[in-house]
């Protein structure tokens, strides 16, 4: 390929030498390309003076040039301004050899972009990733650059130690990226979906960066893998692309719907038939031109999308899911549509080999069902300050998913659901069906057996410690106790109070016996047993008799039934004698031998 550049002479190939102008203008335009991707532009007078006169683009700058004495005033142009200068050079200035060479590189870059001799390029530096249009240096482009370098004067390569080849090879890819980027923006091509509401992936951010004003990309963890893919493609040869077709795939994504709660969206994607990790949202395919994704696959993604959509739509329609008629990208699914999709459409799609990707949160781990417990103290207190053993606490068991507690209606829907997905408090949750059944059985047993009321200390401890739910194979969630129960379990009643001698007792308890009396009453009120381990002769029997009397004084003599005392035969008569001596109001019956009841 021979590129004819208008800036190198009328009908003159770059292979020809550049003859000197017969009638040189009073001043010539000179351009010196710099290593920081900018250009110094100035005018050289016939006397050799360097000025910025006649140049009206860029910013003035005083710089030191190796071929000039002291600092001179020039115009500093970025690459976009340099391209504009090539379109409209100063009319009163003749092009110098350096300017002609630079403009020839600009013309070559334009032709390369028009002929598609570019490819997407991802680069990393200074902690950031950048999206560029890389220059494809085929043999003809390489030869043309060498010819331009031969025509570049040494002063034009002064920023590169006088090396013209290094200068043009640095300038050319910068121009290719800028011209390709500006051309796409001018024609309104968007490689990314501007209306997206979900978090974009690395590929989408990269494609968006190829048409952005600046190449720097937002931070994302997926750029390194994408860069390796692009590098393999370039290194293996740009003409050896996989011919594998694109395959239509469906993504079920949970995200906010406008300003409302989160909803489920069914997104259309294309994924490479030979590489499931390579995917394109349908929105990108519709927005991009036919050749936008040619660097990924040789097949046309738009054509593959249209063909496979025609086969997919009847399955979705039968499940009550309607796509946009023209260029469908996604559709929001209500609860009924989600149920129909999972129950009816998804099995048929899997049979046809259509990939369906569920929300990542569902796949990481299904939502855990938790049983929340609210315990409140019953009515009525005993001498110890506690409730009676039979009505210490009332339990309210509730089923929760995540942070949401299910209402009765939601509980009924969960019981009737056949698929392990449910919408609770605006969020979708994936559940294990076996766990659902265990939780429902747990609640039903507690309600049918009266396990929500009349709980004693043993039941309370089992409940708040998680033993009840553990035995059912469930997880205990939030536990809420009212103030009396919370104080009890915190140990506030561990320091029980001593109780005085009952009025009907014909014996004055010693202080240590009053403490024993109070401790026995505390255990009785809690509904648990204990061992009074005082030394022999310190009145353990007297303390027990005091407990029997005070219980009856508090509740009334007719309110309590008989108390069974189990003891060895050697102390049976001692028990009877001490009761008769210290508590004659109590009636004793010996349940032994012929006296058995």
Most confident option among 7-16, 386-395, 529-538:
529-538
Can you tell me the distance from the alpha carbon of 390 to that of 524, in angstroms, rounded to the nearest whole number? 11
Q: Which of 242, 263, 285 is the last residue of a domain?
A: 242
Q: Of 109, 112, 142, 121, which Cα lies nearest the Cα of 233?
A: 121
- Tell whether 42 and 187 lie within a shared domain: yes
- Tell whether 180 and 42 lie within a shared domain: yes
The pLDDT value recorded for residue 99 is 93
- Tell whether 224 and 254 lie within a shared domain: no
Residue 55 clears pLDDT 60, i.e. is over it: yes
Residue 256 clears pLDDT 50, i.e. is over it: yes
pLDDT band at 115 (very low <50, low <70, confident <90, very high): confident
Mean pLDDT of 319-335: 84
What pairing do the DSSP bridges indicate for beta strands 369-377 and 475-481? parallel
Q: Is residue 419 part of a domain?
A: yes
Mean pLDDT of 131-140: 86
- Tell whether 264 and 347 lie within a shared domain: yes
The answer to whether residues 525 and 382 touch, using CB atoms and an 8 Å cutoff, is yes
Minimum mean pLDDT range among 14-18, 51-55, 133-137, 169-173: 14-18
Minimum mean pLDDT range among 105-109, 292-296, 497-501: 292-296
- Tell whether 60 and 166 lie within a shared domain: yes
Q: Of 283, 259, 281, 279, which Cα lies nearest the Cα of 271?
A: 279
pLDDT digits (tens, 9 = 90+) for 380-406: 555 444 445 555 778 888 888 877 888
pLDDT digits (tens, 9 = 90+) for 155-175: 889 999 889 999 999 999 999
pLDDT digits (tens, 9 = 90+) for 270-300: 887 776 667 778 877 787 655 556 656 667 7
The pLDDT value recorded for residue 4 is 29
Q: Is residue 44 part of a domain?
A: yes
Percent of the chain scored above 70 by pLDDT?
79
The pLDDT value recorded for residue 23 is 55
Residue labelled with tokens 């039934």: 561
Q: Is residue 437 part of a domain?
A: yes
- Tell whether 102 and 147 lie within a shared domain: yes
In this prediction the pTM is 0.45
The pLDDT value recorded for residue 11 is 31
User: Could you tell me which residue, 133 or 69, shows the higher pLDDT?
Assistant: 133
**What's 356's DSSP letter?**
E
What is the extent of the structural domain holding 207?
24-242
Instruction: Show Cβ contacts of residue 273 under 8 Å, excluding neighbours closer than 6 positions.
Output: 244, 245, 246, 247
- Tell whether 429 and 321 lie within a shared domain: no
The pLDDT value recorded for residue 222 is 85
Structural domain tally of the chain? 4
- Tell whether 185 and 260 lie within a shared domain: no
Q: Is residue 469 part of a domain?
A: yes
Q: Of 103, 92, 102, which Cα lies nearest the Cα of 25?
A: 92
Mean pLDDT of 170-191: 83
pLDDT band at 129 (very low <50, low <70, confident <90, very high): very high
């Amino acid at each position: 390929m021979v590129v004819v550049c208008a800036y190198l002479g009328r009908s003159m190939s770059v292979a020809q030498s550049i003859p000197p102008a017969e009638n040189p203008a009073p001043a010539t335009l000179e351009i010196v390309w710099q290593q920081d991707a900018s250009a110094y532009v100035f005018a050289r007078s016939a006397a050799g003076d360097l000025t910025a006169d006649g140049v009206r683009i860029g910013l003035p700058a005083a710089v030191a040039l190796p071929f000039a004495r002291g600092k001179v005033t020039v115009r500093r142009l970025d690459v976009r301004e340099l391209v504009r200068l090539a379109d409209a050079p100063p009319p009163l200035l003749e092009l110098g050899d350096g300017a002609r060479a630079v403009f020839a590189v600009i013309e070559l870059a334009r032709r390369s972009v028009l002929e598609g001799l570019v490819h997407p390029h991802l680069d990393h530096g200074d902690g950031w990733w950048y999206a560029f249009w890389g220059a494809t240096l085929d043999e003809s482009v390489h030869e043309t650059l060498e010819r331009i370098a031969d025509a570049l004067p040494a002063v034009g390569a002064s920023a590169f130690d006088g090396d013209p080849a290094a200068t043009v090879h640095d300038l050319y890819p910068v121009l290719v990226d800028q011209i390709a980027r500006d051309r796409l923006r001018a024609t309104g091509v968007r490689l990314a979906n501007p209306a997206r509401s979900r978090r974009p992936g690395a590929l989408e951010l990269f494609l968006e960066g190829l048409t952005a004003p600046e190449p720097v990309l937002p931070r994302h963890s997926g750029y390194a893998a994408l860069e390796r893919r692009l590098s393999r493609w370039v290194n293996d040869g740009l003409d050896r692309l996989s011919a594998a077709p694109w395959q239509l795939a469906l993504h079920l994504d949970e995200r906010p719907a406008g300003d409302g709660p989160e909803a489920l969206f069914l997104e259309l994607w294309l994924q490479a038939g030979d590489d499931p990790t390579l995917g394109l949202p349908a929105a990108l395919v519709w927005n991009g031109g036919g050749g936008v994704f040619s660097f990924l696959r040789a097949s046309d993604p738009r054509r593959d999308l249209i063909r496979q959509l025609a086969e997919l739509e009847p399955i979705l329609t039968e499940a009550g899911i309607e796509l946009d008629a023209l260029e469908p990208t996604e559709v929001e699914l209500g609860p009924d549509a989600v149920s129909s999709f999972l129950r009816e459409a998804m099995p048929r799609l899997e049979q046809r080999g259509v990939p369906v990707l569920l929300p990542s949160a569902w796949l990481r781990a299904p939502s855990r069902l938790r049983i929340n417990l609210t315990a409140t103290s019953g009515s009525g207190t005993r001498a110890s300050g506690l409730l009676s053993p039979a009505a210490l606490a009332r339990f309210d068991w509730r089923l929760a998913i995540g942070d949401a507690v299910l209402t009765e209606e939601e509980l009924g829907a969960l019981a009737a659901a056949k698929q392990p997905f449910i919408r609770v408090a605006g969020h979708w949750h994936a559940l294990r069906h076996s766990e659902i059944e265990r939780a429902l059985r747990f609640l039903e047993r507690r309600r049918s057996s009266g396990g929500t009321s009349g709980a004693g200390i043993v039941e309370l401890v089992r409940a708040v410690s998680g033993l009840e739910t553990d035995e059912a194979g469930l997880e205990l969630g939030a536990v809420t106790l009212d103030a009396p129960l919370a104080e009890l379990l915190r140990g506030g009643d561990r320091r029980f109070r001593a109780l005085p001698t009952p009025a009907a007792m014909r014996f004055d308890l010693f202080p240590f016996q009053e403490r024993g009396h109070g401790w026995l009453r505390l255990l009785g009120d809690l509904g648990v047993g204990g061992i009074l381990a005082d030394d022999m002769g310190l009145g353990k029997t007297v303390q027990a008799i005091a407990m029997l009397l005070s219980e009856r004084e508090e509740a009334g003599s007719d309110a309590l039934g008989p108390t069974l005392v189990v003891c060895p035969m050697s102390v049976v008569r001692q028990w009877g004698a001490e009761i008769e001596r210290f508590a004659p109001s109590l009636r004793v019956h010996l349940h032994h031998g012929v006296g058995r009841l």
